[in-house]
A and B are shown apart, each in its own frame.
Chain A
Amino acid sequence: MTPLYLNEIFSNSWWMYLLIGFGFGFILEKAGFGDSRKLAAQFYFTDMRVLKVMMSAIIVTMVLVFFFSSIGLLDFSKVYMNPTFLWPQAVGGFVMGIGFIMGGFCPGTSLVGAATLKIDALVFVLGVLFGVFIFGETVPAFNDFFNSGSYGKYSLFDLFQIDAGIIVLVVFLIGLIAFERAEWGEKKMGYVKSLESKGTTRLVFGLTGFLALLVAVTLFKGQPKPDDRWAWVEPKFGAVEKTRDFHVHPKEVRDLMIDPSVSLRMLDLRKEKDFNLFHIENSQNVSLSDFQSAKSKLIKKMQSAPANRVFILISASDKDATEAWKLLKGIDVLNAYVLDGGINHWLDVFALDKNFASLNSLADLSEDKMKYTFYKTVGSSQFSSYPIDPLHGEHKQEHADYVKKVKLQSKSVAKGGCG
């Protein structure tokens, strides 16, 4: 299935945020979180409400997100995930824990406490306002620390290098164990609970079973792979082999090499042997399989590339390069292009003397093979690997006899509620 991208419809509607906030506040209050005593009780093991509500909310959201992602209705890469800044998060979390036990609220719960006119909550909110003010005034003094341990969008399944479904299962099971322990602990501490109706208990168990089913489906289906993701965008870009909107003429690539406004990366997909015989200067030898796994280092690097980075994919003609381009389009790597006609075309245009290679008329170009036969290994030592005349470095544009295809695109940055 194709993602619905409902966020493109609703993310600009103020009433949607109002509605979501409304549900958030209503449930927090209903759960008893407007009462600082209930919140603080978590830290004395007398009422494990905070753990129960938070952990079950995290589990439900996690299961739904990764289930919808696995069946292809939700594009996980388009969901805003807080970037990881390890050290400030660790210290900030610890500091907040201290504030929690002193003040009895966290910022969200203090809002619902204040909404139900609890004076301690109102004073707490004033304290938060003061605290964020002091932070703004003091952060210039420790800005380096504030930005330390930066890992970007970094998830537990990136850390452990395994399928997200396995982490989902583990967190789900840890949650169930934690709930069982919490019930046991409360009984031991002699906390008297209000009687739960049998119906509620049955409903909770029923929903837990349903979640277990979703976890199983998520595990079985797995998260979308680059192939699946290309299928999502195929209606939009499927005709690219005919239109060649993303196939860049060798001369444009040559001009990009000396364009100070772009940071060019050339990725050569040919076999190492062909690459060694001849390649474009500063190009990097990669293989098509690097593009087929969403977890490969190359993909990670490409996804976190700076906004002015342009990738040029190179193969002998351009079949493999186009395949790689499709996979990149699926995972939303912007500014990826294909060297039109590949190295063969490059040599046609730039290797005027061809003193190291000759045309082989028998080569089967449909197989993305070299049509040149090399007399010797030249690597990137020849002028044709970096065909820029040092005396005429500024020769671009004046006589650009090709159609320019490269247009720098930048991502629209998704925002989070707590940023």
Chain B
Amino acid sequence: MNKLDRGEHANPYLAGILLGVVLFLAFFLTGGGLGASGAVSRVQIGLLDLIAPLHVDKNFYFAQVAGGDKNPWLDSSIYMLLGTILGGALSGIMSKRLKLEIFKGPQITNNARLIFAFIGGGVMGWGARLARGCTSGQALSGGALLSVGSWVFMLSLFAGGYFLAYFFRNLWLPKNKGGSV
């Protein structure tokens, strides 16, 4: 793979094509697509089940994953989650990007970045469960199968992002560009 040179980001089209082949293989070999938020939700419910099993049993949404004797950790999505982390880590090591650091726009402090990362993650986690899937499970997997709901989801997601991008421009853009967007 000389196209994926060390230390650089891959050509986006080539990366997309390879990602498409992986997603196709997921459908062809397992009958299902890719996903991330489902597994993260299982991790959350699994942790909650360790702390407060009775509470899990009482909430129907949690109970369908971990109620009674159900084991939230034994699921294909958990293996996919582990694989995703391992794959990301290996690529990071190979490209010398495995480094403890914070990426942020030039205008904000580290603390502000982390606070917005937490809030954004929270909003996204909540939205992903409402939409029954995230960018991977809905937009990529459902989009490739031409699911109506997935395309509606994808368009809404970009609409939401573009709609609010202006208001959050200081999070990401340098000062001189902030006003011109």
Task: Using CB atoms and an 8 Å cutoff, list the residues of chain A in contact with chain B.
Answer: 6-7, 10-11, 14-32, 34-38, 40-44, 48-49, 52-62, 64-65, 68, 74, 78-86, 88-121, 123-140, 146, 151, 153-159, 164, 167-168, 171, 179, 194, 196-197, 199-200, 203-204, 207, 414-419
Contact = CB atoms under 8 A, between A and B. Distances in A.
Q: Is the interface of B mostly helix, strand, loop or mixed?
A: helix
Residue in B4, B20, B40, B104 with the greatest tally of chain A CB atoms within 10 Å: B20
B35 A103 contact: no
B156 interface: yes
Nearest to A136: B61
Interface residues on B, range: 35 or more
Contact of B20 (A64, A125, A126, A416): A64
Given A82-B133, A96-B160, 19 more contacts: A21-B86, A22-B83, A41-B172, A84-B150, A92-B127, A97-B161, A99-B127, A100-B120, A101-B171, A102-B168, A105-B121, A107-B135, A109-B135, A112-B92, A118-B101, A120-B102, A127-B120, A133-B48, A156-B151
Interface string B1-36: 011100011111111111111111111111111111
Contacts of A22: 83-84, 86-87, 90
Interface string B89-101: 1111001011111
A25 B148 CA distance: 26
B145 A57 contact: no
A103 B156 contact: no
Contact of B88 (A25, A65, A151, A203): A25
Interface in B116-147: 116-147
A130 B88 contact: no
B17 A57 contact: yes
A65 B20 CA distance: 10
27 contacts: A18-B79, A20-B25, A20-B26, A22-B87, A24-B22, A25-B88, A27-B15, A29-B91, A30-B95, A34-B92, A48-B12, A57-B144, A58-B144, A59-B16, A60-B20, A90-B153, A92-B132, A96-B160, A100-B157, A107-B40, A131-B121, A132-B45, A139-B129, A156-B147, A168-B146, A204-B13, A417-B33
Contacts of B48: 133
Contact of A124 (B22, B121, B171): B121
Nearest to B90: A26
Given A98-B161, A103-B119, A125-B121, A84 B12 contact: no
B35 A418 contact: yes
B54 interface: no
Contact of A82 (B15, B40, B142): B142
B85 A204 contact: no
Contact of A65 (B17, B24, B37, B43): B24
Nearest to A97: B160
| Pairs A-B, 8 closest by C-beta atoms | A418-B137, A103-B120, A97-B160, A127-B121, A21-B83, A131-B125, A60-B20, A92-B131
B34 to A, nearest CB: 5
Contacts of A121: 117
Interface in B52-97: 59-62, 76-77, 79-92, 95, 97
B107 interface: no
A91 B177 CA distance: 30
Contacts of A17: 30, 76-77, 79-80, 83
A20 B134 contact: no
Nearest to B5: A197
Contact of A81 (B30, B81, B118, B145): B145
Contact of A53 (B19, B92, B155): B19
A272 B12 CA distance: 60
Contact of A116 (B79, B98, B136, B146): B98
B19 A31 contact: yes
A218 to B, nearest CB: 12
Contacts of A42: 161
Contact of A102 (B27, B88, B120): B120
Given A34-B97, A44-B181, A119-B101, A139 B121 contact: no
Given A96-B134, A120-B117, A127 B122 contact: yes
A29 B87 contact: yes
A154 B149 contact: yes
A16 B122 contact: no
B119 A127 contact: yes
B92 A115 contact: yes
B16 A53 contact: yes
Nearest to A19: B83
A21 B161 CA distance: 26
Contact of A416 (B33, B89, B123): B33
A350 to B, nearest CB: 45
A106 B87 CA distance: 17
A84 B148 contact: yes
Given A18-B83, A129-B43, A415-B76, A29 B35 contact: no
